[in-house]
Amino acid sequence: MTEMPIAKHQLDACGLLCPEPVMLLHSKVRDMAPGEVLEVLATDPSTERDIPRFCQFLGHTLLQHEQQGDRFRYLIRKKEA
């Protein structure tokens, strides 16, 4: 069983609605070093569609996606340079 990496960065987008979570995610990832991991928390159900597409479009890796009640949690690894 592979252990999930520990997120060096966090983004709490709870309570924000589309497009704010992805806009904040884009800004946060821009400031990270390649290979670093970000944990994103959100409550907007549209993030289930938008965050995987964001990762795919920009080449980042979505390591984990889970729902805990009304909260969504994502682990994202920034693409290598």
Pick the catalytic residue from 14, 16, 18, 63.
18
Measured N-to-C along each axis, helices 47-58 and 20-30 cross at an angle, to the nearest 10 degrees, of: 30
pLDDT digits (tens, 9 = 90+) for 6-30: 999 999 999 999 999 999 999 999 9
The full set of domain ranges for the chain reads 9-77
Question: In this predicted structure, what is the pLDDT of residue 64?
Answer: 97
Q: What is the pTM of this model?
A: 0.94
CB 71 within 8 A of CB 43: yes
pLDDT digits (tens, 9 = 90+) for 37-53: 999 999 999 999 999 99
Q: What fold, for 9-77?
A: Translation Initiation Factor IF3 (3.30.110)
Tell me, yes or no, if 55 is annotated catalytic: no
Q: pLDDT-based confidence at 1, cuts 50/70/90?
A: low
What's the mean pLDDT in 56-61?
98
